[in-house]
């Protein structure tokens, strides 16, 4: 947002008010943290409500209707319920690791949110190694699931964690390769630079800018990110019918809530990543007609960004409630025998496209 190279009115104002640079930095850091927390923790209940409504309407139900206007207070009630549940570890559990897992699972989403450019001057940290950093940090999620499942002393948890680990590390490769494709065509690994390389009309977004290849890369990103998110149809890690919930079977109360929260913040971060890398980030979908474009440009950039993120999240939800879950061997075969060779081919074609 305001640290240290990106100018921002609020950050400049804080720097003027506090003459000592170290203190001003700390104050700015605090503002950033509060803003990111508000975005993450504030939107998770809304997403959970949205998911329940989308799921219900796909299944010809109404979903939560009783608390508040059309069930809007349902998530608040659920949070209250989780707060008053007892938190305990089962017998034989490795207590330290058991409680460490929900802490580690929340590290990655906040670190990734700190990298996302929400608007021209709304970004916490603009690293030049943004994309590799995001991929590296995503590993925390796998680690948390693995140690959480292992520490629970439950066979279903262990199986779920191992499956999840195998699935997530496999799809991490195609996830990284697709992002590598974006890095190659845009010529920078910084998320802000990638967004700025898509300025112009809607046809300058990376999904449309390179004919066919860009769209294929977006589809690849979509598939592998569903697996990264551990969402259905790739949710063999927590398949209720087989594993009674997988790695978080033994978690209850607020410890379980952390896994749930991380899942929904991850949904936001991955959707933000998709809109940054493929859908033009905070740029409006200009169509080249001046009369329309002037109106589109009047809307602030972060609203466009939020709109694209909501669109992506809606797509993830539709996929989740429409497709059936593949078997574990089919899932691994899809990654290693189809997605990975296809991604390498995509990368090669992209290289050829740039070179000639």
- Contact residues for 343 (Cβ-Cβ < 8 A; gap 6+): 173, 174, 177, 178, 181, 220
Chain positions 198 to 257 lying near other proteins, rule: CB under 8 A, are 244, 249-250, 253-255, 257
**Using CB under 8 A, which of 50, 147, 189, 313 touches other proteins?**
189
Asked if 4 is part of the footprint of other proteins (rule: CB under 8 A), the reply reads yes
349 binds other proteins (CB under 8 A): no
The yes or no reply on residue 42 touching other proteins (CB under 8 A) is no
Q: Under the criterion CB under 8 A, does residue 23 sit at the interface with other proteins?
A: no
Structure tokens belonging to residue 137: 């940090």
Return the residues of window 249-288 that contact other proteins according to CB under 8 A.
Answer: 249-250, 253-255, 257-258, 262
Going from the C-alpha of 73 to that of each of 58, 162, 177, the distances in angstroms are: 21, 36, 41
Q: Is 172 in the site for other proteins (CB under 8 A)?
A: yes
Asked whether the beta carbons of 194 and 186 are under 8 A apart, the reply is yes
CB 213 within 8 A of CB 278: no
Which of 23, 41, 58, 303 contacts other proteins by CB under 8 A? 41
By CB under 8 A, tell whether 160 contacts other proteins: no
Binding of residue 312 to other proteins (CB under 8 A): no
Rounded least distance, CB 222 to other proteins, Å: 19
| Residues listed for the chain | 356
* Stretch of 7-15, 31-39, 213-221, 289-297 contacting other proteins, by CB under 8 A: 31-39
Q: Is residue 92 packed enough to be buried (19+ CB in 10 Å), middle (13-18) or exposed (0-12)?
A: exposed
User: Judged by CB under 8 A, does residue 106 bind other proteins?
Assistant: yes
DSSP state of 289: -
Stretch that binds other proteins, among 7-15, 45-53, 199-207, 337-345 (CB under 8 A): 337-345
Q: Does 72 bind other proteins (CB under 8 A)?
A: no
Rule CB under 8 A: say whether 7 interacts with other proteins: no
Q: Binding other proteins by CB under 8 A: which of 50, 105, 216, 229?
A: 105
Asked if 77 contacts 52 with a C-beta cutoff of 8 angstroms, the reply is no
If you count DSSP H runs as helices and E runs as strands, how many of each does the chain have, helices first? 16, 0
How many other C-beta atoms can be found within 10 angstroms of the C-beta atom of residue 211?
Answer: 8
């Amino acid at each position: 947002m305001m640290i240290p190279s990106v100018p921002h009115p609020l950050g400049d104002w804080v720097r003027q008010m506090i003459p000592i640079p170290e203190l001003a930095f700390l104050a700015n850091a605090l503002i950033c943290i509060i803003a990111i927390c508000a975005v993450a923790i504030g939107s998770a209940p809304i997403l959970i409500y949205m998911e329940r409504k989308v799921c219900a309407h796909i299944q010809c139900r109404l979903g939560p209707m009783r608390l508040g206007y059309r069930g809007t207070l349902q998530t608040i009630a659920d949070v209250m319920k989780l707060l008053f549940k007892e938190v305990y570890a089962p017998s034989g559990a490795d207590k330290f690791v058991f409680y460490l897992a929900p802490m580690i699972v929340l590290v990655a989403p906040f670190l990734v949110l700190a990298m996302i450019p929400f608007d021209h001057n709304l970004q916490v940290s603009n690293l030049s190694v943004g994309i590799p950093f995001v991929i590296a940090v995503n590993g925390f999620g796998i680690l948390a699931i693995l140690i959480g499942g292992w520490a629970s002393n439950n066979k279903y948890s262990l199986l779920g964690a191992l499956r999840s680990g195998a699935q997530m590390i496999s799809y991490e490769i195609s996830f990284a390769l697709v992002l590598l494709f974006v890095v190659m065509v845009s010529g920078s690994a910084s998320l802000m630079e990638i967004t700025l390389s898509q300025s112009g009309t809607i046809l300058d977004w990376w999904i449309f800018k390179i004919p066919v290849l860009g769209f294929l890369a977006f589809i690849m990103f979509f598939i592998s990110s569903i697996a990264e998110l551990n969402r259905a149809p790739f949710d063999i890690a927590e398949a209720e019918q087989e594993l009674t919930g997988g790695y978080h079977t033994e978690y209850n109360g607020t410890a379980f809530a952390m896994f749930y929260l991380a899942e929904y913040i991850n949904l936001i971060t991955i959707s933000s990543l998709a809109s940054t890398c493929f859908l033009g980030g905070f740029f409006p979908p200009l169509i080249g007609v001046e009369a329309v474009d002037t109106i589109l440009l009047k809307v602030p950039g972060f609203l466009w960004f939020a709109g694209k993120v909501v669109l992506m999240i809606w797509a993830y939800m539709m996929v989740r409630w429409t497709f059936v879950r593949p078997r574990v061997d089919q899932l691994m075969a899809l990654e290693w025998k189809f997605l990975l060779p296809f991604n390498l081919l995509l990368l090669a074609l992209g290289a050829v496209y740039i070179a000639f």
